DNA sequence: TTTTAATTTTAGATTTGTCTAAAATTAATT
DNA sequence: AATTAATTTTAGACAAATCTAAAATTAAAA
């Protein structure tokens, strides 16, 4: 069966893509959503109609202010639910994405604000991504990928860029998770793989592909309260 | 826009209707769901295909064992979410239905079992309806006549013993019907008449004769543990 | 700058879920 | 028992969301 991809899914995906590339292309969005270019074009017309996106045919597109606000509200819902699942229902941080993907479509605004209060207004979700507050303010944090981290510079894992369950499993296996303090002991130019040292553990080797997707800060760990 | 009514909505509605009437008719289900008879017939064919319902065209229909199991799981989800909303997020008992209606469509079984444990395996939802356990066992409730109901014990009208039109007219006049939640505020020993309070209404007085013929299930305040 | 390639859009086909109106069946009334 | 009424089903219309394939446009290469 052809699975329907909602307006909300489009907004969220555009938001993430435009963070990386400034402007978004039809094909990129289609790939990200697992749909076809033609379907994306159809949706773009609707989003333009609703004044959520700046779009001229054949030129790319990006969210306008209204669109960004809407996208951030969805991200807020997603991350609050992930936090709930991990902190209250004892899920592992690597099992919550799909469930939150469903929960984020629940529409009640009051529900989300109540949930936020119940959780104590958390700052960051279980993957280390910041949770927008009820005004839609998204705290920006300076993150670099592990691949860019200098040798021997202590850092802390603050986010995972690509949250496939395969990736999360690999990290889990290597005892790398949010908040883990580590540093790079050696870089192998041949394949850009890294030897990484975590305190109290033997060193592990990570591929360049993994390193690109592990985000770190030299900053403080994510706090529970705002 | 024509709003789509899911398979799950149909199962739940059939379940409730067949509790009352044993077998369900096309029109009754359509009315209950706010759709049309033709749409119900379409869905019935699919449910029969999936072996969830016993259905012969032009004769009514009812859920078979599989169908009942499925319906009970949905009811379980609905009531657990209602409990969560009221007990953890401080919603009023009268604001949670619509939100739970959305939440009940979240599919993860693990989520529901974890939620159940987090809430302490509650027995009854905020409206006093029993919550099926993880095996789908739905606690049966004991029916007593209103005359036997203790003072101030919340209860729900679940049947009328003598359905003369005079009796029904009297009950109608006092806004008491099947499903009405009420409690006894005062008992007058002189003639065994009762003062009964229905939510959002002024108290009414009922004779012993009427009280004997109104059947209620005790609607005990939700407990935390089973 | 022309040609070729890649991307994006449009047009129209397909699917799905709903509906209306007519036909089939069952129930009620005379 | 025959007629009428009510209910249910079927047939086909309509709307929405998706897709494929072709056309339009833009970008890249020669």
CATH 3.40.50.2300 fits B143-218, yes or no: no
Contacts of B115 in chain A (CB under 8 A): 89
- A99 in B contact zone (CB under 8 Å): yes
pLDDT score recorded for residue B94: 73
pLDDT band with cut points at 50, 70 and 90 for residue B163: low
pLDDT score recorded for residue A166: 85
Report, in ranges, which bases of strand C sit under 7 Å from a protein C-beta: 7-12, 15-21, 25-26
pLDDT score recorded for residue A222: 44
pLDDT score recorded for residue B115: 98
Are the C-beta atoms of residues B10 and B33 closer than 8 Å to each other? yes
CB contact under 8 A, B85 and A111: yes
Task: Extract the tokens encoding A171.
Answer: 């990290």
Q: What is the DSSP letter of B169?
A: H
d(CA B194, CA B211): 8
d(CA A153, CA A162): 23
pLDDT band with cut points at 50, 70 and 90 for residue B93: confident
Contacts of A107 in chain B (CB under 8 A): 102
CATH 1.10.10.10 fits A7-63, yes or no: yes
The hierarchical CATH code for the domain A144-217 is: 2.30.30.90
pLDDT digits (tens, 9 = 90+) for A115-135: 999 999 999 888 778 899 999
Q: With residue B105 as reference, give the H or E element that holds it.
A: none
pLDDT mean over B45-53: 97
Q: Assign 3-class secondary structure to A136-157.
A: CCCCCCCCEEHHHCCCCCCEEE
> What are the sequence ranges of the domains in chain A?
7-63, 144-217
pLDDT mean over A34-62: 97
């Amino acid at each position: 069966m052809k699975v329907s991809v909602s307006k909300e899914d489009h907004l969220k995906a555009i938001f993430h893509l435009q963070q990386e590339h400034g402007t978004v292309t039809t094909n990129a969005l289609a790939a990200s959503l697992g749909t076809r270019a033609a379907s994306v074009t159809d949706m773009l017309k609707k989003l333009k109609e609703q004044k959520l996106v700046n779009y001229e045919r054949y030129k790319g597109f990006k969210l306008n202010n209204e669109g960004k606000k809407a996208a951030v509200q969805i991200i807020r819902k997603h991350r609050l639910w992930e936090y709930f699942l991990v902190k209250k229902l004892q899920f592992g941080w690597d099992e919550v994405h799909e469930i939150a993907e469903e929960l984020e479509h629940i529409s009640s605004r009051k529900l989300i604000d109540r949930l936020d209060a119940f959780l104590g207004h958390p700052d960051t979700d279980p993957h280390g991504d910041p949770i927008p507050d009820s005004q839609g303010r998204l705290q920006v944090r300076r993150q670099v990928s592990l691949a860019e981290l200098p040798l021997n510079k202590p850092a802390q894992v603050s986010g995972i860029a690509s949250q496939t369950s395969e990736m999360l499993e690999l990290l889990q296996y290597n005892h790398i998770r949010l908040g883990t303090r580590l540093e790079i002991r050696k870089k192998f130019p041949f394949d850009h793989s890294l030897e990484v040292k975590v305190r109290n553990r033997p060193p592990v080797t990570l591929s360049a592909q993994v390193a690109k997707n592990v985000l770190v800060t030299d900053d403080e760990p994510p706090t529970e309260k705002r």
